[in-house]
Amino acid sequence: MLLHLLLLACSPDADDSGAAPITLAAMPDPADWSTRGPGGPQRSFSTGELGVACAWLNGGEQSAQHHNLVAMHDGYLLFPWSPEDGTGGISFFDVSDPCAPVKVGEAFAEHMRETHTLATGRVGEREYLAVDSFVSESQGGIGFFDITDPTDPQWVSELDLPGFSYPDAYFRVSLSTTWVGDRLYVAAGLLGVFVIDVSDPLQPVLLDNVVEVGHVAGVFHVIGNLGLSSSAGIARFITYDIGHEDGWQVLSDQNVGTPEDELENFYFSSVGGEYMLFARKDNGGGPIVYSLEDPAEPTLVGTVVALDGDGGYVYRHGDLLFQGESEFAAWYSFEDPADIHELGRVEHHGDVDTVTPIGNVAVVSTDELAVDGQSTGIYPWAEAPDTDPPTVRLSNPADGATWVPLAGNVGVVADELLEPRSAHAGSFRVWAEDGSAVPGRFYVMETVVNFVPDAPLAADTTYWVELPAGGLADSSGTPTDSDFRFAFSTGEEVTPWP
């Protein structure tokens, strides 16, 4: 293992105050990580091959041809396949040649239900995936796969949640999961957000249930101590301080709207860099983008209306936004958030909710009305393999933040989907002001990386955080090419980087 030794001092001598210079503890090299699988697409395409499906992804024999999002994990494509009324599974594919995907592992789960995020967590030497579950119309909640070995995943446990009711498909069922530390956050429509203790995923325990009247919680993102609760199908969006010693504190509760102050319902949302992305539904499609730079006052920065669209899911990929629009999948220019415009689209049979950018291909999925065997297609959208580096653009705590809670976490957001294996102690470095390394665990979902310290932070102490170039990598395996640094304090003053 390569080690980096960084010195925070202009010289080896004491400074003007007489204090000795600070030497930061050694950390692993930022590139000291690897994946079991070969990583993202490595194939080039001709102009004539763009926008045409070159392969189809299918799960086991029990697949209902009702598919959704995908994600890269440990160098393989993680592919869930389950309808909203339950029974399905997950598959892992080698997509280094995306037009000739090779299935390397698969697991069936009778009680798995359509899941809208792919939340993973490591406990000891094991790794798990949390998904939604369905047992009967009055029984369901969440379930867990052990994915330690992608070639042999196993369904290992499940937990029913109170109030579960189906076919009330959005109001009283689990819709998505987010895993940070020993906590799993489950967005469950009108049932609110459930908080689950997953310190032992084989025996998950319900800890809490946060409900906001009239809010249909579709997804709950976590960035450090910031919680983002987005609706499923309506316009409401709530931000929380989830690290407060007195429990969750609402920072902002508002409706997503247009410059004309009209409410805009959205189907689902995601985070991309410094922005919250919403997929407009009902009144056309197209993305709606809000700034998160002040989480107490998210502000509209850009939108475009696809008159023939009806949004499903939206993801950022650098200067592009990809969105499922029901009748088609589209990608939009995002070079200027004030001038979002469509660049391309593909037609795909069925209800096209999801288009996930993975390198220079897009994985397009339908959740109903699919042609048999063609629910999920792989569509090249760019000729060359993706070598553009991701960029970290947002942190919580923010640079210069004070009075950060001692039990708090540290989160950052990149501008494209990430490979979870690239988050480690060398690519996400945390030091206390005495130069000691802060040990902890890393949790990646989509564009977000959360660092959870192994022990509470010290009182009245500055912490320095660095994500060095060459470490954190996107779903193609391309690492960042620039450093990202910030500092915060658990007291009233932040000691700056020297």
Domains of the chain and CATH, by start: 3-37+389-489 (2.60.40.3710), 47-380 (2.130.10.10)
Structure-block tokens of residue 114: 């359509």
pLDDT value of position 65: 82
Query: Rounded distance, CA 132 to CA 144, Å?
Result: 9
pLDDT value of position 19: 60
Query: Rounded distance, CA 299 to CA 304, Å?
Result: 16
pLDDT value of position 7: 33
Per DSSP, the chain holds a count of helices (H) and strands (E) of 0, 38
3-state helix, strand and coil shares in percent for the chain, rounded to the nearest 5: 0, 45, 50
pLDDT value of position 365: 94
Coil, strand or helix: which one is 346?
strand
Query: Rounded distance, CA 216 to CA 265, Å?
Result: 12
Residues of the chain with pLDDT under 70: 1-20, 259-261, 498
Q: pLDDT by residue (tens digit) across 9-68?
A: 333 334 455 566 788 999 999 999 999 999 999 999 999 999 999 999 999 888 878 888
CA atoms within 13 A on the CB side of 36: 17
DSSP one-letter string for 411-449: EEEESS-B-GGG-STTTSEEEETTS-B--EEEEEETTEE
Q: Which of 462, 458, 466 is nearest to 496 (CA)?
A: 462
pLDDT value of position 262: 78
Q: pLDDT by residue (tens digit) across 246-262?
A: 899 999 999 998 766 67
CB 93 within 8 A of CB 74: no
> What length is written for the chain?
498
Q: Which residues pair with 119 in a beta bridge?
A: 130
Q: Which residues pair with 253 in a beta bridge?
A: 238
Query: Rounded distance, CA 484 to CA 480, Å?
Result: 9
CB 364 within 8 A of CB 348: yes
pLDDT value of position 342: 97
Q: 244, exposed or middle or buried, with CB in 10 Å at 0-12, 13-18, 19+?
A: middle
CB 199 within 8 A of CB 123: yes
pLDDT value of position 20: 64
CB 121 within 8 A of CB 64: no
User: Residue 157: phi, psi to the nearest 5?
Assistant: -165, 170
CB 306 within 8 A of CB 342: yes
Mapped to the 3 state alphabet, what secondary structure does 164-216 carry?
Answer: CCCCCCCCCCCCEEEEECCEEEEECECCCEEEEECCCCCCCEEEEEECCCCCC
